Structure 1
Amino acid sequence: MTTHSEQFWIDQLQLDPHTEGGFYKQVYSSDHSTTTWDKRERPYYTSIYFLLNLSSPSHFHRLKSDEIWYYHTGESLTVHMIHPNGKYEAVKLGLAADKGEVLQYVVPKGTIFGSSVESDEPDAFSLVSCMVSPGFDYHDFELFTQSELLKEYPNHQEIIEKLAYKTLPEK
């Protein structure tokens, strides 16, 4: 689907490993700011490049802000969500609109979500951008373990075991 390799994009965009999985780089942050619900000053928005592959998905996490995902290149990407009411939903980002894929999608604040590349190709990856408003801050970022999620959502065991860490990575 793409003529460039994963390593090309990592090098070209100067991406670094992300705690939740994959590789990223913040590329935009609003010059204007707002005061959030917890009385903190934050940019109106931030935006990152985000590259995921078969061995490094985006692990289950939750934000206190909406996050818009924009597809760029590579394989399609599945955004897996567990909504606050416990309902599971999967949305595919990609170019195949005739197969239900979308070019962009908003993950609502308070939703537990992660993303994965699903392909038979061993070098498969997906390059997207993510925009958060108000701007991203690790203060509003929760990363989950399998045991934490399985206690509350045992009916989603298969996807939780695929996209949640057994133990959280060191920061």
Structure 2
Amino acid sequence: MTKPTASFWIHELLLQPHAEGGYFRETGHSPELIVTEDRRERYLYSNILFLLTADNPSHFHRLKSDEAWYFHEGSTLTIHLLHPDGRYEAVKMGRHPEKGELFQFTVPKGVIFGSSIEGSSGDYALVSCMVSPGFDYRDFELLPYDALIKVYPDYGSILEKLAYKKLPEASFSKDHV
């Protein structure tokens, strides 16, 4: 049997392009609703399948909810975190725990993050993500390079790689950090 490709998974799992980069499909959410601090009803949690490729990373964004990532298939994935205190952190996910790679990791709410695959253009990583409280586009911010470089000037090389210079249309973005 040949090794599955990114195209195989995109087709088989009915994934669609995501504004932050990569491909995704919502796979479900809790039947329960909760009321958030800002008095909005939200699902207790929501789930997606998410696929990134070496040439289609997840660009820097921020959520108002925690997001748990679960590695399934493919190449090593790096989650790049920009913490509110100015600290940068890189977390590796993959199938090699002996190299420090994790099978699961939770990005804390309010942390700016993006993800990348190192390798050739054929490399990909397939993960699933669970957001709690459930994902809502009103709580999703794509953050542009110009805004991030002012707050994180020491991390220009990763910002060059994962921050949009110009945000895509209908990106649900904000220009502040």
Corresponding position of 1:123: 122
Give distance in 2, aligned partners of 1:28 and 1:100.
30
Corresponding position of 2:153: 154
Corresponding position of 1:45: 45
Corresponding position of 2:139: 140
The number of equivalent residue pairs is: 169
Shift of 1:111: 0.2
Give distance in 1, aligned partners of 2:17 and 2:71.
19
Give distance in 1, aligned partners of 2:35 and 2:93.
32
Runs of 4+ in 1 over 2 A off after TM superposition: none
Segments of 5+ residues of structure 2 without an aligned counterpart are: 171-177
Corresponding position of 2:32: 32
Secondary structure in 2 matching 1:10: helix
1:170 aligns with 2:175: no
Amino acid corresponding to residue 58 of structure 1 in structure 2 = S
Q: Percent identity?
A: 55
- Deviations for 1:17-73, whole angstroms, at most 9, x for unmatched residues? 000000000001111010011110000000100000011100000001100000000
Secondary structure in 1 matching 2:122: coil
Corresponding position of 1:17: 17
Segments of 5+ residues of structure 1 without an aligned counterpart are: none
Amino acid corresponding to residue 57 of structure 1 in structure 2 = P
Give distance in 1, aligned partners of 2:24 and 2:9.
10
Aligned CA RMSD, in angstroms, stands at 0.9
Give the structure-2-normalised TM-score.
0.94
Give distance in 2, aligned partners of 1:113 and 1:19.
14
Secondary structure in 2 matching 1:56: coil
Shift of 1:3: 1.6
Kept after mapping to 1: 8 A contact 2:53/2:121: no
